Amino acid sequence: MNSLLWMTVPYIAFTSFVLGHAWRYRTDQFGWTTRSSQIHESRLLRMGSPLFHFGILGVFGGHVMGLLIPETWTAAAGISDHVYHLMSITLGSLTGFAVVAGLGILLYRRISVPAVRKATTRNDKLMYLLLVAALATGMLNTMTNVFAVYNYRETVSPWFRSLFSLHPAPELMAGAPWMFQLHVLVVLALLGIWPYTRLVHMFSAPIGYMVRPYVVYRSRDPQREGSHRYAKAWVEPEAPPARSRWV
């Protein structure tokens, strides 16, 4: 059972994550979007979206620090276990509460606004369920670690790194507390369905906007009607000459 949960299941989730994104990009580029519902409601979206997204960036950074950077590296950098624990609890709590608050606002908006609720698909419902479960178990682990300190960098972290070295050590994860195990399983399930939900927009960045040409509008001047000579996209359009109001 340990090999199934902590070796087979992670590789299935990682494979689905990687190949699923490749398949989605090749077959559904027009669907590679957040399916924005801002047109239906914007006030709650302006409050919840920044909290959620900036909080997620902090949570991601904390997980990179805790899972990918070995304990010996932070010790070599002069960061003691006590200082690391304080940083982990403080920053993890702040970013976690930001994500919880942002997601709470977004879920309230999705439930309370009829047009947004109608636009919610089954995939969205499953995605939100797993997001809530991942946040709830993660915050519980952070809060309980304030009082009962558990050094996950001796079990969970080396287990996670062992998956990428292709020498998995499922026995390490098998010895972790059940709340940490539940959190990992929920996150793996979320990674597995990621490519088939609106979460794919995480890999979309509007870089082209920085180098795109001007937006050019066709003239409605009656003197130019029927003309098919259009300005080049990179040429700034000229304003038509002013006309006298007495004409």
Sketch the domain layout of the chain as residue ranges.
2-210
The whole-number pLDDT of residue 16 equals 96
- Dihedral sign from CA coordinates of 88, 93, 95, 99: positive
Query: Over 80: is that where the pLDDT of 155 sits?
Result: yes
Query: Over 60: is that where the pLDDT of 228 sits?
Result: no
Which tens digit of pLDDT belongs to each residue from 184-227?
999 999 999 999 998 988 887 666 656 666 665 555 555 555 55
Tell which wins on pLDDT, 85 or 215: 85
Tell me the pLDDT of the chain averaged across its residues: 84
Q: How far apart are CA 72 and CA 95, in angstroms?
A: 25
The whole-number pLDDT of residue 216 equals 57
Tell which wins on pLDDT, 210 or 26: 26
Query: Over 90: is that where the pLDDT of 108 sits?
Result: yes
The whole-number pLDDT of residue 212 equals 62
Query: String of b and e for 135-147 (b: at least 16 CB within 10 Å)?
Result: bebbbebbeebee
Q: Among 12-16, 85-89, 173-177, 241-245, whose mean pLDDT is lowest?
A: 241-245
Mean pLDDT, range 228-245, rounded to an integer: 57
| Percent of the chain predicted with pLDDT > 70 | 83
The whole-number pLDDT of residue 32 equals 81
CATH code reported for the domain at 2-210: 1.20.950.20
Mean pLDDT, range 90-116, rounded to an integer: 92
Query: Over 90: is that where the pLDDT of 83 sits?
Result: no
Consecutive H or E run containing 158 = helix 156-164
| Percent of the chain predicted with pLDDT > 90 | 47
DSSP 75-129: HHTT--HHHHHHHHHHHHHHHHHHHHHHHHHHHHHHHHSHHHHHT--HHHHHHHH
Amino acid identity, position 91? L
Mean pLDDT, range 1-7, rounded to an integer: 89
Tell which wins on pLDDT, 160 or 80: 160
Mean pLDDT, range 34-57, rounded to an integer: 87
The whole-number pLDDT of residue 79 equals 86
* Total-model pTM: 0.78
Mean pLDDT, range 132-138, rounded to an integer: 94
- Dihedral sign from CA coordinates of 59, 209, 48, 46: positive
166: left (phi over 0), alpha (psi -120 to 50) or beta: left
